[in-house]
Structure 1
Amino acid sequence: MPLAASGTLVSRAADAGTAVAAFNVITLEHVEAVVGGAEAAGSPVILQVSENAVLFRGGRLLPLARAAAAVAEQAAVPVALHLDHVQSDELLRQAADAGFSSVMYDAARLPYGENLAATHAAADWAHAQGLWIEAELGEVGGKAEAGGVAPPLSAHAPAARTDPEEARAFVAGTGVDALAVAIGSTHAMTRRTAALDHELLGRLGPAAGVPLVLHGSSGVPDDELRAAVTGGIAKVNIGTALNVAMTTAIREFLAAHPDAVDCRPYLASARTAMTEAVARLIGVVSAAP
């Protein structure tokens, strides 16, 4: 089926009181696993390509984007493409022509005023191209830099949390369509131990007035994810959980087959493990409360 629009999927989820799962992809096996898991769950899904994934591929966006679009267009469920954590204006301007319907513009590293100004300019440009745009306010720590090394975890500190009044002003001043909020999750967590600030989430939804997004969801336990969706999260970003499933499956295969040299069997095992993880996580976040 034709590519879906991220904004449509998120809006429908928000209206239904559920969330759409958005998975970050790096390889073709990631893409196939996400779509296969979504088909198994019978739910729409968002494929996300991050700026770091583009840098990993030598700065070339189109190879992975074209592959993702080709798989998505053959899917039995709606699939949208989202360009994630974009800091480069040059990369931002490639989004529409590469098949993306949405982009997350990441200026959260900047002081509030600079974040607002940069995001406002990005939103104006994105809307002129028909793109739905997400931004981040607060500090969802742990995101790896281009070299793959994450900075120290910091988002569990209350000082890193999104302030509701700042969120209200930020959305009004930038015109973004969705807001990623810092409520206690952290990127790149391999253990599911994050405790979310649900009281804060309950204040952020009415203040922001747009769908809210949870980043760093791989480190959030199932019950916390369900409570976050009930509390107003409409898009749940997941990346590290797929990498954990993939790497674990490859390690187990190679341990059992130490003489293996053909990559296809262990990549198939990795793809199956990721597909199962996707289907399970979609079931957690998309179930009606």
Structure 2
Amino acid sequence: MSRSDLASVLAGARAEGRAVAAFNVIQLEHAEAYATAAERVGLPVVMQISENCVRYHGSLAPIALATLAIADACDQPVVVHLDHAEDTALVEEAVRLGLMSVMFDGSTLPDDANRAETARVVALCHAAGVGVEAELGEVGGKDGVHAPGVRTDPTDAARFVADTGVDALAVAVGSSHAMTDRTAELDTDLIAALRDSVPVPLVLHGSSGVPDDGLVAAVKAGMTKVNVATHLNQVFTRAMTGRLEASPTVDTRKYLGAARDAVADEAARLLQLLALR
């Protein structure tokens, strides 16, 4: 299976009424954990590299090429995705490197500029067979559209998709980025209305703050791609520090390996949860 394109992976999930999990890659151990999880449960996975991650590493190519190599070795479909890219030059580099999809984030731009720039990115990416995810406005945790009380209007969402040609749309339904507790309450009626109004798969950002039953309800209501980052970072950190406290060592393989194994276990659980298994 290995590398797959976003549109076909999401189309398959949407047709079956399930969702695909999208997990953030920061260290190489993350990508290894997600591949292990996908193989263990026999489900596709999206491995996301954010623009923030690129800044952390200093460039896109090393982490992207390593993640693509792990995707190529995986026996399940893997989409390697550039997440929350605001820099179109970075989008162009991702396409050259062979990433299969990008999330272009023009949410801080004025509405007309966001639509125009998103449409330009879609044209560039589609010419290379690369899928594009986008959103109408800034996601919560960044004082924007997913802040408490802010919601995506179904009519606006449908018009944005028509204006831009995106393959997937991130919508505001009650979640927020970077939550460390799982207390967010999603508006499932709005998710269903968006599903009926928008012709492309819906994406839930900020899913780390949503409890399991809320995630399942969101999928049943119409979510197709579910992004999880902070929650898995917490799993990684707890396992790493726990291993160091239990058995101090300077061998980084010991504690990073423990963190990788813990993330693989939780990623596998989430993959199955979102597939409604």
TM > 0.5: yes
| CA deviation vs aligned residue, 1:173-196 (integer Å, no higher than 9, x gap) | 111111000101111111111100
Structure 1: gaps (5+ residues):
143-150
1:186-233: CA deviation from partner (whole Å, max 9, x where unpaired): 111111111001111111112221110111111111111111111111
Matched, 1:265 2:254: yes
Cα distance in 1 for partners of 2:270, 2:178 equals 16
**Alignment partner, residue 145 of structure 1:** none
Matches within 5 A, 1:57-206: 57-58=57-58, 60-142=59-141, 151=142, 155-158=146-149, 160-206=150-196
Q: For the structure 1 residues 254 and 152, does the alpha-carbon distance in structure 2 shift closer, same or farther, using more than 3 Å as the test?
A: farther
User: 2:3 aligns to what?
Assistant: 3
Distance 1:208 1:188, change over 3 A: same
TM-score, reference length from structure 2 = 0.96
Quick one: percent identity of the two aligned structures?
48
**C-alpha contact (below 8 Å) 1:153/1:186 kept by paired residues:** no
How many residues of Structure 1 are paired with residues of Structure 2 in the alignment?
A: 277
CA contact 1:134–1:179 (8 Å) conserved in 2? yes
How far apart are the structure 1 equivalents of 2:157 and 2:216?
A: 23
Q: Which runs of no fewer than 5 residues in structure 2 stay unpaired? A: none
Where do residues 9-20 of structure 1 align in structure 2 (5 Å cutoff)?
9-20=9-20
User: By how many angstroms is 1:14 displaced?
Assistant: 0.5
The answer to whether the Cα contact below 8 Å between 1:140 and 1:184 also exists between their aligned partners in 2 is no
Q: Conserved in 1, the CA contact under 8 Å of 2:171 and 2:202?
A: yes
Per-residue CA deviations over 1:131-168 (Å, capped at 9, x if unaligned) read 111101244212xxxxxxxx46873432x211111111
- Aligned partners of 1:62 and 1:154: how far apart in 2? 31
Correspondence for 2:23: 23
Describe the superposition over 1:41-99 as per-residue Cα deviations: whole angstroms up to 9, x where unpaired. 111111111111111111x1111111111111111211121111110011010122212
Contact in 1 for aligned 2:202/2:223 (Cα 8 Å) = yes
